[in-house]
Amino acid sequence: MKNKMQRFRLKIPSVTENLHLIRDFIIKIADNAGFNIENQEKIALAVDEACTNVIKHAYRFDSRRLIDIAIQTDAKKIKITITDKGGGFDINKIKDPDIKKYVKEARHGGLGIYLIKTLMDEVQYEFNPGVKNQVQLTKFKEGYKAV
Amino acid sequence: MENFEVAREDRAGISILRLKGFLDAHTAPQFEQAIQQLISEARYRIIVSMADLYYISSAGLGVFMGFIEEIREKEGDIKLSNMSDKVYKVFDLLGFPALYHIFKEEAEAEREYNEK
């Protein structure tokens, strides 16, 4: 089962209450696909961060909107595609965080994107506000390097 | 479903916030409120103890980041203790250990306040 390509899909209301469910869903699938616990948790945290961005920035806490999470697993990797049709923002323009500066400015946010990049092996964005914004997160299994 | 709790204990001039459960964008406002309450009571010597905290996302880290400067300006601090390895790794990934005092046990953090 662990070598077969499998696809999963979760469409879930864009509310922070659901972050817990999203993480549980991701952890179960990553476990099933053969990732160790440490990596299951890294993947779940990255997906939490990406979904939090959708809830806050793309859909601005509008609970009628849906976050679309598509997952593909195979022998080597897990690939998670998170899609929204909201306002969004160009993630490519976000700089790596400077914690010292953020502390001085009493900022509360700005850490999520950097965490996602650190936790995953590959991160790709497509940015088309109001039409379709998509972030694609890939993590390779232990022993498989990103090509 | 309640998956996060903040318990507060005041010991003389020090307040300990014990976090339990999952700290994410949903539960971070609860933690933020607890910190704001301490600030409104002018209790600036804070220890955040995380023995029972199983999960933290950047929304939780943002709470630490958002208030530390204000608290330090008042001669206070937010000292951190009892983190699991898993929670510590997230703090570490973002460079927090360079800016926050992190202790293994609450008592060590308390001692540091009392020595000053």
User: Residue range A102-117: average pLDDT?
Assistant: 86
* CATH code, residues A6-140: 3.30.565.10
Q: Quick one: what percent of chain B has pLDDT higher than 70?
A: 97
Question: Of A68, A72, A32, A27, whose CA–CA distance to A46 is shortest?
Answer: A27
- Quick check: A130 pLDDT over 90? no
List the structure tokens of A72.
């593909």
Q: Does A52 contact B1 at a Cβ distance shorter than 8 Å?
A: no
Number of domains present in the structure of chain B: 1
Q: What integer pLDDT is reported at residue A100 of this predicted model?
A: 83
- Quick check: A147 pLDDT over 60? no
d(CA B28, CA B34): 10
Domain that holds residue B95: 4-115
User: Residue range A128-141: average pLDDT?
Assistant: 92
In A37-118, DSSP assigns E strands to 66-73, 77-84
d(CA A61, CA A8): 25
Q: What is the ipTM of this complex?
A: 0.93
* Per-domain residue ranges of chain A: 6-140
Closest CA–CA distance from residue B10 to any residue of chain A (Å)? 25
The torsion angles phi and psi of A135, rounded to 5 degrees, stand at -120, 135
- Quick check: A46 pLDDT over 90? yes
Q: CA B72: distance to chain centroid?
A: 14
Q: Establish if A24 touches chain B: CB-CB under 8 angstroms.
A: no
- Quick check: B1 pLDDT over 70? no
CATH number at residue B70: 3.30.750.24
Q: Does B94 contact A49 at a Cβ distance shorter than 8 Å?
A: no
